[in-house]
Structure 1
Amino acid sequence: MRWLLLTLFCASAAQAGEITFYRCTDASGALTIQNMPCPKGMQQTTKVMQAVAAPAPPAAVLAPLATGVLVPQAVPASEPVAVAPAAPVTKPAPVALPALYLCKGRGVDDYLSESAEPPSRCVPMRVVGLDGNPAKGAGEACEVQRDTCAAIDPTQLCSTWQQRVRDAESAARFSSLAQPDARQQYQRLQAVLDASDCAAQKP
């Protein structure tokens, strides 16, 4: 009796609508409740009930068994995916500016150099004949000269480098009138200045 009622309840819960129950009483007074009409010879009474379909579990799928019966299986909740934080972008530390030297020499304008001992220069000399006549001079001669250089004051190094880059930029704009590598020289000096701690300072 209890098994039959449980079967009827499960069958009715799977469908929505009206369900008719049949109460069957035989000659001995035994009572049977079923969902189909009573056999002949039994007293029958009916009762109509409203069934409500039970909602399916929200996170379930049907998994086939070997017998072909589909049973609900819980779907595991998706685990959060760990995302590695982006590596911070670090800028290279600024470097100190190379030292500059103000160099002076005979017959040349003062100039800046990154070396305290720039290459020597050979200044052409006037050649004369044995009698002192310049017209009879033969061959060529030159005098080796070395310019003297003094280091720029460290407190003025930044502004001196900035001025040197501006001068190199001006020379690069008129490269046809200057040295062929004027543009490369400007680009090199600008790169040195940009990589230094002087780049953020205003000229």
Structure 2
Amino acid sequence: MSQRHRSLTAIAGAVLALALLAGCAPEPAPTPTSTPTASSEPSASPSESPSESPSESPTATATIPTDCNELGSEASRLEMVGDMTLQSDGQGFERPAPEGATLVLGCDWIVGDATGLLLLISTATPDAVAAAVATLPDQGYSCQVADDFGAQFCELPGSGPDTEEFVVARDDVWIYYAPVNRNGRAFLSDIASQIFG
């Protein structure tokens, strides 16, 4: 065998050996990606410290005016009693009221011989107020919950036009309202909104 033939055979063998070795080499490991994977450990979250139990929201407190001349809006007050004279503070009137009620504000307006308004605002325990409302239907009142101020609204028709009696009651507040020969519903609505918010 010539020298040249041996050299070509050796080169061919070396190329074949390199090819076989290359075929057996392991593939390179994949480059790690930044895609998060699920783990069995819990994810970080704000630590749950014992928190205070939600405190009960304070009950709405009624705001009862202490002056008859501060009741309702000025416009509705002037329309209802602007021409009337305040006669008394409402003491001594016997009208439906809860047991143990305390008169907070009484207003007795009158003009002429047969036109006026009696308003008595009292407070009592909420249970006493609820119990008193329950007795009103037996006295001829019709009662329902007023949508605008969320109180019991009870009405007793009078013997003539605009001689109704009304009771508005919520929580510990009792409003007795009796217009005579004058439509006083707008003034009553303003007073209730002022008191109950």
For normalisation by structure 2, the TM-score amounts to: 0.29
Higher relative contact order (CA 8 A, sep 6+): 2
Higher helix share: 2
Structure whose alpha-carbon radius of gyration is higher: 1
For normalisation by structure 1, the TM-score amounts to: 0.28
